[in-house]
Amino acid sequence: MTKLSQQKFPIIAFDADDTLWRNEDIFVSAQGEFIELLAQYHDEQYIRSHLGDVQIRNLKHFGYGIKGFTLSMIETAIELTEGRVTGHQVHSIIELARRMLEAPIELLPSIKSVLEQLQADHKLMIITKGDLLDQESKVARSGLAPFFDIIEVASDKTPEAYEKILSKHKISRKEFLMVGNSLKSDVLPLFDIGAAAIHVPYHTTWAHEEVSEQTLIEYPQLVTLESIALLPKWLSQHS
């Protein structure tokens, strides 16, 4: 590879959850346990749908992450039981959240290899969203922190949030590449500010992060790699 000053994208940022390590699976599993907890009150689909609605409603209050998800589960339990949810059941939800927060970090395939290949010739960043304490803990427990020069945890990933981060670190959008699994959070906001991004899909996506095919038509520059392992080759072809 060419040296840092000659790279087309000398600065590469990675999303964390479901790009560097598994995350959505933990939420899917927890949601299944929550549905079982309320199974005596409503059917699975109704509980799932109502929880999703409450999560979206609460994003502006509690933000993204396990703690906000927990508050939404508790609120959903109160609403769907018409206040009959027991203290024992609420405690079960809190214990479920604690297990989520303590879940082992499972790196996705090829992540370490890719970071090792890129570290010498690129400045690497993490840009993730969610609860600050939780995200910092996951970065530390992942063992990946030494690969990254900058770690940013944002409350949301809007075009304005990305512009603020780039401005803070005096990064030119023309030299910057974002890599992530979410089209809505990791890719399209970058296109909206004139920066580059690559989509690396994860096998499951939270409904709130899904983007319609009609929306994607507006972004002909979209590049999708089926595996993060393909990123070094793609970069070598675009340097």
Per-residue pLDDT of 31-41, as tens digits, reads 999 999 999 99
Q: Tell me the mean pLDDT in the region 20-36.
A: 95
Task: List the beta strands (DSSP E) in the chain.
Answer: 11-14, 123-129, 150-154, 176-180, 196-199
CATH number at residue 142: 3.40.50.1000
Q: 125 by DSSP, 3-state: which? A: strand
- What is the spatial distance between Cα 14 and Cα 175, in angstroms, rounded to a whole number? 14
- What is the spatial distance between Cα 139 and Cα 115, in angstroms, rounded to a whole number? 14
Q: Tell me the mean pLDDT in the region 45-55.
A: 95
113 and 160 share one domain: yes
Q: Which two tokens stand for residue 154?
A: 């944002």
CATH number at residue 55: 1.10.150.240
State residue 206's pLDDT score: 65
126 and 51 share one domain: no
State residue 128's pLDDT score: 96
13 and 114 share one domain: yes
Q: Tell me the mean pLDDT in the region 62-67.
A: 90
State residue 219's pLDDT score: 87
State residue 207's pLDDT score: 67
**Is the pLDDT assigned to residue 215 strictly greater than 50?**
yes
Judge if pTM exceeds 0.75. Answer: yes
Q: Tell me the pLDDT tens digit for each residue of 94-135.
A: 999 999 999 999 999 999 999 999 998 999 999 999 889 999
136 and 84 share one domain: no
Q: Which residue has the tokens 């992060």?
A: 209
Q: Tell me the mean pLDDT in the region 21-43.
A: 95
29 and 131 share one domain: no
Q: Tell me the mean pLDDT in the region 5-16.
A: 84
125 and 224 share one domain: yes
State residue 151's pLDDT score: 97
97 and 180 share one domain: no
10 and 30 share one domain: no
**Total domains in the fold of the chain:** 2
Range of the domain at 16: 4-21+106-237
124 and 112 share one domain: yes
**Is the pLDDT assigned to residue 54 strictly greater than 60?**
yes
